[in-house]
């Protein structure tokens, strides 16, 4: 069975107008405090940046930790043994003064400006797993944030 739905633009406009009128009537009947709370909630909802990533919502506030993400290679990527790949990261914190890339806890390189790119020579080992970490530091050398991915070497 097929159900055909026809949408009349004038009817849809009328529905929106009725909904808005009902909202105005409900809002006008509220006391001052409830109105203030409603407006505050709407402002926070509109002004607070929200990011959807992997079906999870992240809300950013001034106290939130900065976001750092290794963009290449992607987690669980298979890399060719004995090749050279670019490790790249992006970060949203302007106070970052250096980015250190490590592979299996050994420093691969330090980058001092954006774009954060480091070349890594994949060892000549088949079917090995490597943990890659990017760590962002401020001007005083304090760790701000970090990101980790795991890659596997292929043939």
User: In CATH, what number does 68-153 get?
Assistant: 2.60.40.10
Q: Tens of pLDDT along 28-44?
A: 777 877 777 777 766 66
> How far apart (Å, rounded) are the C-alpha atoms in residues 25 and 18?
11
Model pLDDT, residue 65: 59
Question: Where are the chain's structural domains?
Answer: 10-47, 68-153
Residue with the two structure tokens 């290449």: 72
Q: Which helix (H) or strand (E) holds 54?
A: none
> How far apart (Å, rounded) are the C-alpha atoms in residues 39 and 148?
40
Question: Which two structure tokens, joined as six digits, stand for 150?
Answer: 């795991």
Residues 125-147: what's their mean pLDDT? 92
The model's pTM is 0.58
Q: Which residues make beta-bridge pairs with 100?
A: 110, 135
Q: Tens of pLDDT along 47-106?
A: 655 544 445 555 555 555 567 899 999 999 999 999 999 999 998 888 889 999 999 999
Q: Which residues make beta-bridge pairs with 116?
A: 89
How many secondary structure helices (H) and strands (E) does the chain include? 2, 10
13 vs 5, 10, 24, 77, 89, CA distance in Å? 17, 5, 17, 50, 47
């Amino acid at each position: 069975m097929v159900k055909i739905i026809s949408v009349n633009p004038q009817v849809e406009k009328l529905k929106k107008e009725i909904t808005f009128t009902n909202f105005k009537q409900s809002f006008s009947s509220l006391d001052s405090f409830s109105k203030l709370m409603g407006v505050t909630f709407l402002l926070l909802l509109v002004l607070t940046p929200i990011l959807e990533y992997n079906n999870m919502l992240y809300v950013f506030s001034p106290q939130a930790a900065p976001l750092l993400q290794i963009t290449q290679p992607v987690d669980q990527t298979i890399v060719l043994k004995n090749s050279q790949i670019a490790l790249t990261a992006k970060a949203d914190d302007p106070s970052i003064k250096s980015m250190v890339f490590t592979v299996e806890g050994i420093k691969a390189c330090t980058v001092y400006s954006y774009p954060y790119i480091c070349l890594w020579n994949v060892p000549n080992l088949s079917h090995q797993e490597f943990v890659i970490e990017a760590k962002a530091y401020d001007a005083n050398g304090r760790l701000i944030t970090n990101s980790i991915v795991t890659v596997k070497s292929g043939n």
